[in-house]
């Protein structure tokens, strides 16, 4: 058995093996019909195999050497969810490959992922479920069933996606029955959030255990304090007599209250009062000693003059403004206003307004070119006269009667006849063009053309032959017809494609002697 080693999560695994002649075991021979789907991988002792080829590569006769082969396994491929996990062993076998004309099904190698402990390592596993960033469960694997088995131990979590990001924390509690880890605090900032499937390593922290043991010994046993009353010799000073007046600090006058703490925050660098003080200009407000201010003042002086102020005073504007009626404008109580209103009513009627609405004048006016010139321009007038001689009412009436737009729109296909007759009930070929559905003449290259045919007046059915463009981007296509497509006297071919006009071709067949 070929054990290839213990690998870190996400690491590539290479399994090398040989094949030999069945009659001469010393002679290497190649292996045939071996592909990636022939590789089957088992996890631990499970009979459920991973036979998905994602993340598996095979190399037969490596470097051209017969009988030397290699399988590469990418354990960072999660196509089969959570198959590759820390704390597990894997067996790799081949099923159905051919060596020396015989099918073989060998186990070619085994390996493990984080399942061989190093010094100080207590457990390798992965996250099975996650309640928070401080509480999660481990996969069964080698996780201990004993409560508190990993208390105070260091835990390292590796991101299953990148395989390089790690989170470091310490375990405060472990429940063996549910394999639940509780951390002292969330892991140190590492740029990723722990998730189901991340690999886990638990390390014994003997140094911390020693510290804990030392701290568990009462201080009085190792270095006791003097047995003295407060303020007494060797005792804790709490008053003036003892050298520290703590009692005086516990008064309303000196006590640090929430309001006082807020005032301190406001005054410290970056506080609200500090920011306001920083925003106050350090120089006095300036007038004419500032060039920009002086320029603006000079401009105002040129506008607001004594003469103009005197005119405003003489105009008595406040009185005039006060005399403006505060009620709405009125009509019929003023004879002149009423007369003008009556005249407007005679002109602006509902009927005329309706005509203006129907005329859609805003749209028509907006459509008038702003640079249009008429008879006052000699060149324009000469062109207009020439157009008037051509575009007459009589000719326009003829065009209307001919209903040309409808006739043009009714043309949906181009019709041609085959240049020559085609052989009856025999293979044949001819070329045709496909044109744009809108303008009817631009060649349309790169189409997928479908063809049907009607033989001797029968219903159109799909042709048996093939259709292809004669040359790239030419818009000219060629049918290579089968005998069944010409088994009649008269054949109508119909060729169609999206964006092109339907093409009809009439052909008569000739008897092939």
Confidence of residue 66 (pLDDT cuts 50, 70, 90): very high
Average pLDDT over residues 328-346: 70
Tokens of 431: 């070329």
> Could you tell me the two tokens for 371?
């640079």
**Looking at the predicted structure, is the pLDDT value of residue 24 above 70?**
yes
- As a whole-number percent, the residues of the chain with pLDDT over 90 amount to 39
Give dist(CA 12, CA 76) in Å, integer: 8
Pairing of the two strands 502-510 and 422-423: parallel
Q: Mention every residue, 6+ apart, whose C-beta is less than 8 A from residue 43.
A: 50, 83, 88, 89, 90
Give the confidence band of 43 by pLDDT, cuts at 50, 70, 90. Answer: very high
pLDDT of amino acid 212: 42
Closest C-alpha to 420, from 408, 409, 428, 412: 428
Q: In whole angstroms, what is the distance from residue 85 CA to residue 127 CA?
A: 9
- For residue 232, name the pLDDT band (cuts at 50, 70, 90): confident
Q: How many CB atoms lie within 10 A of CB 88?
A: 20
Average pLDDT, the chain: 82
CA 378/CA 448 separation, integer angstroms: 55
pLDDT tens track for 124-166: 888 999 999 999 999 877 788 999 999 999 999 988 888 788 8
User: In the numeric block, which tokens belong to residue 164?
Assistant: 């390089």
pLDDT digits (tens, 9 = 90+) for 389-439: 888 888 777 777 766 555 554 444 455 655 458 999 999 999 999 999 999
- On the question of pLDDT at 277 being above 90, the answer is no
Give yes or no for residue 346 having a pLDDT over 80.
yes
Indicate whether 218 pLDDT > 50.
no
Q: Is the pLDDT of residue 456 over 90?
A: yes
What is residue 217's predicted lDDT score, i.e. its pLDDT?
43
pLDDT above 70 covers a percentage of the chain that reads 83
> What is the Cα–Cα distance from 481 to 485, expressed in whole angstroms?
6
Average pLDDT of the segment spanning 88-104 = 92
Between residues 337 and 285, the one the model is more confident about = 337
Cβ atoms of 421 and 430 within 8 Å: the answer is no
Q: What average pLDDT score do residues 240-255 get?
A: 66
Q: How confident is the model at residue 214 (pLDDT cuts 50, 70, 90)?
A: very low
More confident residue, 239 or 35: 35
Mind listing the domains of the chain with CATH numbers? 3-113 (2.60.40), 121-211 (2.40.10), 344-410 (no CATH), 413-510 (2.60.40)
């Amino acid at each position: 058995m070929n054990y290839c080693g213990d690998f870190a999560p996400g690491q590539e695994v290479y399994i090398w093996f040989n094949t030999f002649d069945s009659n001469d075991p010393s002679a290497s021979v190649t292996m045939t019909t071996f592909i990636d789907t022939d590789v089957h991988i088992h996890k631990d002792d499970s009979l459920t195999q991973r036979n998905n080829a994602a993340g598996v590569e095979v190399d037969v006769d490596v470097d051209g050497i017969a009988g030397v082969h290699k399988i590469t396994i990418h354990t960072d491929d999660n196509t089969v969810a959570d198959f590759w996990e820390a704390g597990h062993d894997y067996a790799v076998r081949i099923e159905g490959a051919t060596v020396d004309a015989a099918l073989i099904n060998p186990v070619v190698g085994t390996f493990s992922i984080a399942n061989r402990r190093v010094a100080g390592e207590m457990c390798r596993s992965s996250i099975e479920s996650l309640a928070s960033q401080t509480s999660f469960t481990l996969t069964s694997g080698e996780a201990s069933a004993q409560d508190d088995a990993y208390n105070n131990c260091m835990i390292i979590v590796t991101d299953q996606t990148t395989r390089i990001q790690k989170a470091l924390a310490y375990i405060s509690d472990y429940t063996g029955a549910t394999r639940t880890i509780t951390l002292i605090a969330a892991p140190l900032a590492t740029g990723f959030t722990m998730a189901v499937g991340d690999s886990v390593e638990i390390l014994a922290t003997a140094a911390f255990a020693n510290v804990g043991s030392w701290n568990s010994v009462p201080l009085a046993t190792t270095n006791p304090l003097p047995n003295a009353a407060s303020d007494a010799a060797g005792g804790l000073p709490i008053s003036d007599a003892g050298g520290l007046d703590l009692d005086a600090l516990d008064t309303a006058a000196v006590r640090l209250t929430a309001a006082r703490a807020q005032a301190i925050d406001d005054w410290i660098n970056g506080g609200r009062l500090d920011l306001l003080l920083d925003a106050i200009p350090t120089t006095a407000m300036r007038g004419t000693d500032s060039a920009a201010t002086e320029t603006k003042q000079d401009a105002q002086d040129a506008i607001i003059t004594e003469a103009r102020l005197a005119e405003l005073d003489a105009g008595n504007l406040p009185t005039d403004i006060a005399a403006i009626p505060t009620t709405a404008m009125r009509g019929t109580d003023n004879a002149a206003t009423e007369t003008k209103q009556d005249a407007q009513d005679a002109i602006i009627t509902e009927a005329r307004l309706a005509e203006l609405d129907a005329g859609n004048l805003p749209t028509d006016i907006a459509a008038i070119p702003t640079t249009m010139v008429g008879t006052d321009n000699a060149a324009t007038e000469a062109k207009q006269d020439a157009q008037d001689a051509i575009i007459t009412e009589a000719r326009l009436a003829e065009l209307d009667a001919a209903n040309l737009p409808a006739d043009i729109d009714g043309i949906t296909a181009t019709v041609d006849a085959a240049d020559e007759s085609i052989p009856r009930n025999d293979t044949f070929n001819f070329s045709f063009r496909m044109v744009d559905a809108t303008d009817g003449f631009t060649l349309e290259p790169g189409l997928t053309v479908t063809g049907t045919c009607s033989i001797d007046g029968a219903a159109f059915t799909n042709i048996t032959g093939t259709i292809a463009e004669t040359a790239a981007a030419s818009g000219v296509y060629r049918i290579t017809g089968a005998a069944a497509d010409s088994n009649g006297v008269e054949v109508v071919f119909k060729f169609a494609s999206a964006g092109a006009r339907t093409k009809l071709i009439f052909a008569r067949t000739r008897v092939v002697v």
